Amino acid sequence: MTLATQNARQVSVWRPQARRIPVLQTERLTLRAPCRADARVIAKFAGDRRIAENTSRIPHPYGIEDAEEYVASINTVDGETCFAVMRDDRLIGLCNVTPGKDGAEIGYWVGAPYWGQGIATEAARAMIDFAFADVGYDMLVAGARASNPASRRVLEKCGFQWTGVGLYRIRAINSSAPIDRFRLDRGLWASLKAWGRAKEVA
């Protein structure tokens, strides 16, 4: 899980207008833009140390103000898209794609009560389809802590290929940790489309 979450103190008082983000529908999930009303649930789940320690930028502790600042700062930069992952009208996680020098990076987390149900994979596949088909990226990259085999399995089930390991800073532990790095190019994604594309419903 590598969702990029900004520190509240790094967010300027002035906030650019958020871009229009589509609503995507999968078999069990709806992906839509997060809103201020989501902040309390985001803080509840992202405040779980088990989630924060498996992302690169979520601090710990993580509170309602952090979540409100995050929601206010996202979906303002071209190519950057963050989705709230909804199931039965309940927010259960976040996923995003962010431009980067080595390719656009995807990140995701799902609240602990929903682990082990294939939800992260389903959400990631919808976001990957969006990144390639709608945004037009040619390459996606991602990372998973070496100590997080579940996140690694999500990436592998989505077709990502391992490219190496490196030490990356983890804000929640205030230290660096080994991160397995992965990538997926447009050609391989196109050959794996048997999973079926998410529908854009709005």
| pLDDT tens digits, one per residue of 20-55 | 899 999 999 999 999 999 999 999 999 999 999 999
DSSP structure string for 15-76: -PPPPP---EE-SS-EEE---GGGHHHHHHHHTSHHHHTTSSS--SS--HHHHHHHHHHSS-
8 Å CB contact between 80 and 98: yes
**Which helix (H) or strand (E) segment is 166 a member of?**
strand 161-170
Instruction: Report pTM.
Output: 0.86
Report pLDDT for 120.
98
Q: Between 200 and 180, whose confidence is greater? A: 180
At residue 194, the pLDDT reads: 67
Q: Which residue has the tokens 């927010």?
A: 91
Domains and CATH numbers, the chain: 19-193 (3.40.630.30)
Comparing CA positions, the residue from 139, 136, 138, 126 lying closest to residue 83 is 126
Task: Quote the pLDDT of residue 79.
Answer: 79
How far is the C-alpha of 127 from the C-alpha of 81, rounded, in Å? Answer: 9
Our measurement of the distance from residue 170's CA atom to the centroid of its chain's CA atoms, rounded to an integer in Å, reads 16
Query: What is the mean pLDDT of the segment spanning 186-196?
Result: 85
Query: Which is higher by pLDDT, 2 or 78?
Result: 78
**Mean pLDDT to the nearest integer, 94-123:** 95
* 119-129 residue pLDDT tens: 999 999 999 99
Distance CA 51, CA 162 (A): 22
Q: Which residues lie closer than 8 Å to 139 by C-beta, 6 or more apart? A: 102, 103, 104, 183, 184, 185, 186
Provide the pLDDT for residue 81: 96
Share of the chain above pLDDT 90, in %: 79
pLDDT of residue 51: 97
Q: What is the average per-residue pLDDT within 99-104?
A: 89
Q: Is it the case that residue 148 has pLDDT exceeding 80?
A: yes
3-state secondary structure string across 82-116:
EEEEEECCEEEEEEEEECCCCCEEEEEEECHHHCC
* Segment 94-102 mean pLDDT: 92
